[in-house]
Amino acid sequence: MRFRRWNQSGCWHQIVQDLGGEKELRAAMEKVAEYADQQTESAVRRKTRRVERQIYTASVTPFRNGAEQNRESEADVNWLSLVGAT
């Protein structure tokens, strides 16, 4: 949780900028900042996919319900014709 908050506030990039001559520490913090950017991009993609999936499901659901009802009525007609009730 703290990592995400610090990432949103830009803390990792600020630390990288503040590290002047310490090359090893700066390199390590740059890797942390890169990882933080990847996590942010991944979270945005997940959120976008979730919203798109909800929109798609909402648009397809009425058709699914109608198709299932239609299949049931076709099955009933077929069964009744086999039994000889029609």
Evaluate whether residue 48 is within a structural domain: yes
At residue 51, the pLDDT reads 93
From residue 74, how far is each of 27, 51, 61, 62, 68 by CA, in Å? 68, 35, 20, 19, 10
Q: What is the pLDDT of residues 12-67, one digit of tens each?
A: 888 888 887 788 998 999 999 999 999 999 999 999 999 999 988 888 776 665 55
CB-neighbour burial class of residue 19 (10 A; exposed 0-12, middle 13-18, buried 19+) = middle
pLDDT band for position 81 (cuts 50, 70, 90): confident
Evaluate whether residue 38 is within a structural domain: yes
Structural domain boundaries enclosing 33: 2-60
Evaluate whether residue 7 is within a structural domain: yes
Evaluate whether residue 20 is within a structural domain: yes
Evaluate whether residue 40 is within a structural domain: yes
Evaluate whether residue 56 is within a structural domain: yes
Evaluate whether residue 29 is within a structural domain: yes
User: Which candidate, 33, 41, 1, places its Cα nearest to that of 15?
Assistant: 33
How many distinct structural domains can be found in the chain? 1
pTM given for the model: 0.57
CA distance 65 to 72: 11
Evaluate whether residue 65 is within a structural domain: no
CA distance 7 to 1: 10
pLDDT band for position 70 (cuts 50, 70, 90): low
Return the residue matching tokens 């942390």.
32
| Radius of gyration, CA atoms only, the chain | 28
